[in-house]
Structure formats: C-alpha cells, structure tokens
A and B are shown apart, each in its own frame.
Chain A
C-alpha cells in the first residue's frame, strides 16, 4: 500500500504499482447507444472464439446484466469485518462459473440472403432461437407507470487494486502491470482453468474456447502507449467513441486530474459493488432521475430511482455523493461557481483524458 506524504500520491495503490490508470463514467449521460460496445468489439473481440465476448458491455439497470445475474455469482473477497481484520478485506470467495446460456450465444444473421441474394425475409437470428443475450432486458427497468425507471450501466474490467481474478489463478497467469496497474492475462501462462472467470465478481474475464485461454479488457493499452499508426496516445476506444463523452480517463494518483478530484476530494465518483472488496479503479457518478409524478402529472417530492437500489449498487457512500452533487447543482443554478460541475461538464479533451502526465 503506498500512502505517501507531501510529494507522493495520497491514494492507495496496489503494492508494487507505480501509478494506477482509472476511469470515471457519469451515468447521467449514458444514452445506451452501445457505441462503446461496438468500438471495443470491432477493435478486440470480433472473431476467433471471441464472438460472445463483450469486454465493454452496457446493461440496463435494474436488470440481470451480462452475464445473466452476474451480481449473484460470487467471487471477490469477504469484508474485513467478516474476516475480523483491520485491513481492507478478508479471504477470497469462490464464485460460480457462468454458463454459455448466461453469457448469451453469438447469433448468426441472414445478412447474406437479405443484402445479396434478394431474399425478402426479415432480418433475424438463424438457428436456435435466442433465449438470452447481453442487455436482453434492455429498457425494461422497474417501477410502475408513471414512475417506472431505468438507467444504463456501461461496464469494463475495473483493473482492481486487489484483483481477485489474479489471486484466483493458481498459475499467476493474471497480473497487474507495474507501470499503470492494468490487469492482463499472460497468454503463455494461461492453461484455461477459468478460476479467474469465477473469481472476478464482475465477471469481466472471458474464456476463449478456441484458444483455450482466458481473455479480458486490456484498457486499450496499445492506444494508451501510442502504438497506433500515428504514434499518438489515445484513450481507450470505449471512451473516445462515446457520443456524450461521459468517460474521464487518467491516473487515480494524478492529483491535478479530474479523477483524483472526483474520487478523493469530492467523493462523488463511486465504486460499483464495493462490497466485493476488489477495489475497482473504474468509478461511477450515480444517476439522478426526475422526481416521481402522480397519475395526473403532478410532481411529487419522491426520488424516482429508489435510494436503496442505488445503495445496493454503489454502497452507502451514494447518499453523500448524491447530496454533494445536488448542492453543487444548486450553486450553479444560483449563478455561483462550482469546480465539481465544471469537472462533470467539461468538453475539453485535454482535461478529460490525461494519460501523458506520468510519461
């Protein structure tokens, strides 16, 4: 744990990690367009056994997600209290391996027939009719008319400070890079045991049946390293392709960066399911929704998205976070300055993506 004074970072990084890449996603901006999903898919997971994989997925909440019911499959660590410890977490928990049906099978469509052979059939998946897939319950949400609600939750691997995927692997084939804390699968060491898949409580490791190895989000590290044709450092594709630009990318320990401020100073960027105790480095600004309405359209002072549900997702800290954001919104409404609102609404790419600060 590197907690240093004055000149060094004051955030907790994993042992032996110099800096930690991080992402903040503002859930109030997500329109569920799946541009991020497609950007990631075309870049990394198009073929060769990766058809069913979505390193980036966007699911509708409340909803069962991808893979189906991932929140109930276990993994991660028990809490420090459970373990009767002062430290951050206790023993690793063994999770459950999702089935092919839970992930959803990749579907073949009749594109060929429709586009080239002049068939007037409708476009539909071929073969066995699908029973589940990523974001299968899109826009379903919860609640009763006129107060139904839902929001979108984009997910990538959290490049956790305590990655239980790595701890689950008996061969230490998953590792956290020293220079930036990105969690990778060493394809040479992996023997396809899939303990990482069941060990990650976010189910963000996938198994490639053709390669017989595990594969996962690599935080677009070649883009981050300027490995592209123009040698430019770029943020992950999911971030740069997002139309409403809701992702901030940088280092958690960059004290002048927006991520540090949102996470450490204002404490409005929260970890998803902190109770898994892997300490994710992807953070979320929790969603607001308009207040509830009566049958005849009058506004009532009741929150549309029930707080207990948000608490289930983001932990107790969600209350303070929402209150802080509300306070700062008010300030802006009253014509005052708010650095926080500035950070959340910036359109300055240089502020949004700060990947070269530690070069």
Chain B
C-alpha cells in the first residue's frame, strides 16, 4: 500500500465517521423534536413563495411539509348506519404563505365516487360522492363542541365533495350547516388515493369566518365520507379536535431540541478528536 493511497484511505474513513456521526446526531435530535410535539398538533409550515405549488394537490411544495396521520372513527350520530364508516385515517399537511392558509387531506379510497371527471357517466340517483371536510371554530380562539359546534360557538366547515367541489359552511350544531360561500379547493385522485387541498385567505373578510392572522393555535377537526359506502350527512368518519400549530406552541422555545443538538455535536466532536488522535499514534 503506497503512502498516497493510505492517506486517501484515512480521509475516506474520516468522511465515513463524520457521516455516521451526523446520522447519530440526527437520530438523537429528531426523536426529541418529534417527541416534543403533542399528539394532536398539525404542524404548519411557512412557505412564503409557494402559493401556486400549494394550490396543487400534489404540488412539489407539499414535500417540504411534514405529514400528520390522524385516526378517524365513526361519528356518533342519529343517522341510520352511523357506525358503518370505512375510512380509518387521513393524512394532513398544512402550510401558509403571506396571504393564504393551505390544508391538504390525503386518504386511501379504492373507489372514486363523484362526477368530477367529465368522462364519468350520469351519476345514479342512489350513488353518493366522496367528500371531506375541515372543521374550525368560527372564532379562532373559541372551543366549540366537536359535533358541528353549537349556536353559541359556531363552526366553519370547509367542505369538499367529488360532486360539487368546495363550499364554505357555517354550523351551529348537527343538521344546521348553511353555505356561506365557496372555499378554494382542488382535488386529485391517484393510485386509489384522494388528495384534496383547501385554500383560504388567512384574514377573514366577514363575520363567522375563521381568521388565521393572529399567532395563536387554531382548533381543527376532519371528516371523510366514502360515497361508495353510501356515507353522507352524519354517517362519516371523523377525528378528534387537533390544532393547527400557528402559535408559538405549548412547549415554548425549543430548549430541549437545542440542548440535544449541542450535546450531539459535542459527542461528535469528541469522537472525531479521539479517532483522529488514535490514527496519529
């Protein structure tokens, strides 16, 4: 083995050690990051210039946002077959630009129901469209009942259906939803999976519409209907209340993360110094 090649070998193994150490550090820090996040938080990523991409259900910008998998269960309701729901979880991502807030829901549904595609034949009188909804307190600071709020604490519902597109609804209890406008929505169905993006200005321009311009967390809940299973109205799969992490967060400044990062780097430095020292002797 020549001098040159042994020096090259040395550099290579140093690089390998550094990579390994970085992995160790990341492995140490990331769980801490995730662990510090409460179970019902939906992270919201700031992506100032990604408006166009976020409007697309599978736009590139969505890859820069973390996904939160949220469990769904049949909503307690008086609807016939209320317990017969078929969607078990929904993957949620959220992001905002200066102007707008985007929420994307993705879920598996092997059958596509709705007349979104022009090629689709006339819908039948007994077929139902797939649908999904985002429920928010009309007053961002309020804490309404999970079942469509109440007349004193109304909720805003962003409703999308494969048949009719996006609608913004106001509700003050079950059976009271009233359309108050349309919410921007965009949907795509790929490989047995729906991706639906809702977009709305962060500032509410009317009463009874949720505003996202403060720096507080906002409660949010989700619902998905599988049209193929005749799901509609109260026959739906719903989540518990979550919150859109728009505020500083309940864990305060990320000390834990910083400490872990510092500790990780310190360990890495010691290991590198030791390795180098050992090789020199």
Which residues of A are in contact with B by a Cβ distance under 8 Å?
Answer: 52, 94, 97-100, 103, 170-172, 191-195, 197, 206-207, 209, 212
Contacts and interface: CB of A to CB of B under 8 A. Distances in A.
5 contacts: A52-B125, A99-B124, A99-B125, A100-B126, A207-B126
Nearest to B122: A209
A191 B233 CA distance: 9
A264 to B, nearest CB: 36
A193 B232 contact: yes
A125 to B, nearest CB: 16
Nearest to B233: A193
A97 B230 contact: yes
B163 A207 contact: no
Nearest to B124: A100
B159 to A, nearest CB: 10
A94 B125 CA distance: 18
A99 B126 contact: yes
B242 interface: no
B80 A209 contact: no
A170 B126 contact: no
Contact of A172 (B164, B175, B234): B175
Interface string B206-240: 00000000000000000000000010111000000
Interface of B: 78-80, 122-126, 163-164, 174-177, 230, 232-234
Nearest to A98: B126
Contacts of A52: 125
Nearest to A92: B80
Q: Which of B177, B230, B233, B234 counts the most A-chain CB atoms under 10 A from its CB?
A: B233
Given A94-B80, A212-B164, A170 B233 contact: yes
A170 B175 contact: yes
A74 B67 CA distance: 45
B80 to A, nearest CB: 4
B216 to A, nearest CB: 32
B125 A207 contact: yes
B177 A209 contact: no
Report the 10 A-B pairs with minimum CB-CB distance, sorted nearest first: A94-B80, A100-B124, A193-B233, A97-B126, A170-B175, A207-B125, A171-B175, A193-B232, A209-B123, A100-B125
Contacts, number: 44
Contacts of B176: 171
Contacts of B230: 97
Contacts of A206: 125
Nearest to B164: A212
A335 to B, nearest CB: 55
Contacts of A207: 125-126
Contacts of A209: 122-125
A46 to B, nearest CB: 17
Contacts of B123: 209
Contact of B125 (A103, A171, A172): A103
Given A98-B125, A209-B124, 7 more contacts: A100-B125, A170-B78, A170-B175, A193-B233, A195-B233, A209-B123, A212-B164
B79 A170 contact: yes
Given A191-B177, A212-B163, A212-B164, A170 B124 contact: no
A170 B122 contact: no
Given A207-B125, A209-B125, A170 B174 contact: yes
A103 B125 CA distance: 9
A194 B233 CA distance: 10
A12 B142 CA distance: 47
A1 to B, nearest CB: 25
A171 B175 CA distance: 4
A170 B125 contact: no
Contact of A194 (B78, B126, B164): B126
A212 B115 CA distance: 12
A185 to B, nearest CB: 15
A197 B126 CA distance: 10
Nearest to A103: B125
Nearest to A52: B125
Which has the most chain A C-beta neighbours within 10 Å: B124, B125, B174, B175? B125
Nearest to B77: A170
B163 to A, nearest CB: 7
Contacts of B125: 52, 98-100, 103, 197, 206-207, 209
A52 B124 CA distance: 11
* Most chain A Cβ neighbours within 10 Å, of B123, B126, B174, B233: B126
Nearest to B159: A191
Contacts of B122: 209
B75 to A, nearest CB: 12
B18 to A, nearest CB: 60
Contacts of A172: 175
B136 to A, nearest CB: 19
A206 B174 CA distance: 24
A170 B175 CA distance: 6
Contacts of B234: 170
Contacts of B232: 192-194
Q: Which of A52, A197, A207 has the most CB of B within 10 A?
A: A207
B78 A195 contact: no
Contacts of A94: 80
A66 B110 CA distance: 33
A26 to B, nearest CB: 32
B124 A195 contact: no
Contacts of B79: 170, 195
Most buried by B among A98, A170, A195: A170
A277 to B, nearest CB: 18
Contacts of A194: 126, 232
Contacts of B177: 171, 191
A244 to B, nearest CB: 33
